[in-house]
Amino acid sequence: PARWGLIGASTIAREWMVGAIRAAGGEIVSVMSASADRARAFADANGIGTATDSLPALLGSGIDAVYISTTNELHKAQHLAAVAAGKHVLCEKPLALTLTDAQDMVAAAEAAGVVMGTNHHLRNAGTHRAMRQAIAEGRIGTPLSARVKHAVFLPPHLQGWRITNPAAGGGVILDITVHDADTLRFVLGEDPVSATACARQAGIAGAGSQDPALADEVMGILRFPSGVMAQFHDAFTTRFAGTGFEVYGTEGSLIGVDCMTQRPVGQVLLRTAEGETELPVETDNLYVRAVTAFHAAVRGEGPIETRGAASGADGVKSLAVALAVAEAAASGQTRSIRYAV
Ligand code: NDP
């Protein structure tokens, strides 16, 4: 089994990834935090043998791979150090705060010959996989437009850096729109070319700051090479909206219900001239699926994206889209999406 080190004593590691790595057959050897006490407490609470506040110590603890889930401004340096030590890296989204930094991360992993994944869980959901397949099979004809409903409520235990700290990559666009971007690319099978958006602080983010990086609500439109327009609505402030992902085509529509979530839930309805049917949807754990794909890539069984999980390059693209959305919202102008610097 792959031997893992955790970089970051985070909520996502505690709530999802410790369990997912183990369920996928991995062993968690050590955890690193900026605070030795936090590292020890996390290790004790999660049955991990070694705790450290030293990145070199973590990288020297006999591990094959690291999972990086620190705040976003820290990912790049930690990734580069791990790659330089020959470790495979599964990194949280957004990979970094700038496109150049994210590109550098991918280039370093390629040069070192290690596997790199981006933890975009949603493309691992049975709902999104079913929609991607239905579109590829032509079941809705030619896609015309899409809608992403991803306006949720940031739970109190996560109301920290996301709503206060632009330097850590806070704000709803880098947190949630980045997931929409990856999911749209995955389901539609093409990369958006431009972004239009409006963002605001609707009551949770910013503490009086007007920094658009700290928006807690954003709406916008992404345009795709085929002409498809995708509308998205993301928020930290919205308690009772429910989530959804819908694609409308010339011959039918796909209606994904409650599918923008960490849990393996949700429904996909196919509406055509024949009426409405519910598509069968697999309910395996999204994160376990992602780690399983990562493990297969580490074993040399082909690139991670061939098993449906997000690669480093996918993380660069989702960041490129999110940055264009942020620029569009800040400027009030439509922005082309640049995928390379
Ligand atoms: P957390 O706020 O839980 O953790 C981020 C960092 O905060 C930790 O690495 C930790 O630093 C630090 N921290 C935790 N507790 C304290 C404390 N009491 N005092 C000071 N610092 C503290 O973040 P999340 O788990 O929500 O997010 C982490 C990363 O994962 C982000 O990149 C985020 O975008 C991503 N994420 C991805 C999700 C997905 O589904 N793909 C879902 C949620 C988050 P240290 O390690 O030094 O202890």
The predicted pLDDT at position 205 comes to: 85
Given a contact cutoff of 8 angstroms between Cβ atoms, the answer to whether 176 and 194 are in contact is no
Please give the pLDDT value at position 204.
Answer: 87
* Token pair in block for residue 202: 């609707």
Å from CA of 36 to ligand 1 middle: 16
Best probe residue, ligand 1, of 10, 121, 161 (max atoms within 8 Å of C-beta): 10
Q: SS3 of 97, please?
A: coil
**What was the pLDDT predicted at 27?**
98
Any ligand 1 atom below 6 A from CB of 92: yes
Task: Specify the residue for token string 């020890």.
Answer: 40
Q: Contact 242/258 with Cβ under 8 angstroms?
A: yes
Nearest CA among 289, 290, 286 for reference residue 266: 286
Q: Tell me, using a 6 A CB cutoff, whether residue 233 lines ligand 1.
A: no
3-state helix, strand, coil in the chain (%, to 5): 40, 25, 35
**Within 113-189, where are the H helices?**
126-136, 161-164, 172, 178-188
Answer whether 79 contacts ligand 1 (Cβ < 6 A): no
Q: How far apart are CA 67 and CA 117, in angstroms?
A: 9
Count of other CB atoms within 10 angstroms of residue 118 = 32
What are the pLDDT tens digits along the chain (341 aa)?
899 999 999 999 999 999 999 999 999 999 999 999 999 999 999 999 999 999 999 999 999 999 999 999 999 999 999 999 999 999 999 999 999 999 999 999 999 999 999 999 999 999 999 999 999 999 999 999 999 999 999 999 999 999 989 899 999 999 999 999 999 999 999 999 999 999 999 988 876 556 666 999 999 999 999 999 999 999 999 999 999 999 999 999 999 999 999 999 999 999 999 999 999 999 999 999 999 999 999 999 999 999 999 999 999 999 999 999 999 999 999 999 999 99
Is residue 24 within 8 Å of residue 17, measured between CB atoms? no
Question: How many A from CA of 156 to the centre of ligand 1?
Answer: 14
Secondary structure letter of residue 86 according to DSSP: T
Distance of CA 71 from the midpoint of ligand 1 (Å): 6
Distance 269 CA to ligand 1 centre (A): 35
Residue 152 CA to ligand 1 center (angstroms) comes to 18
pLDDT of the residue at 203: 87
The model carries a pTM of 0.97
Q: For helices 312-331 and 178-188, give the axis angle rounded to 10 degrees.
A: 120
What CA–CA distance (Å, rounded) separates 131 from 327? 30
> Is there an atom of ligand 1 within 6 Å of 52 CB?
no
In this structure, what token pair is assigned to residue 104?
């550098």
The ipTM estimated for the assembled molecules is: 0.98
**pLDDT at position 213, please?**
64
State the pLDDT at residue 212: 60
What are the phi and psi torsion angles at 245 (to 5°)?
Answer: -150, 115
Give the pLDDT of residue 206.
72
In this prediction, residue 207 carries a pLDDT of 63
Q: Which amino acid does the sequence have at 129?
A: R
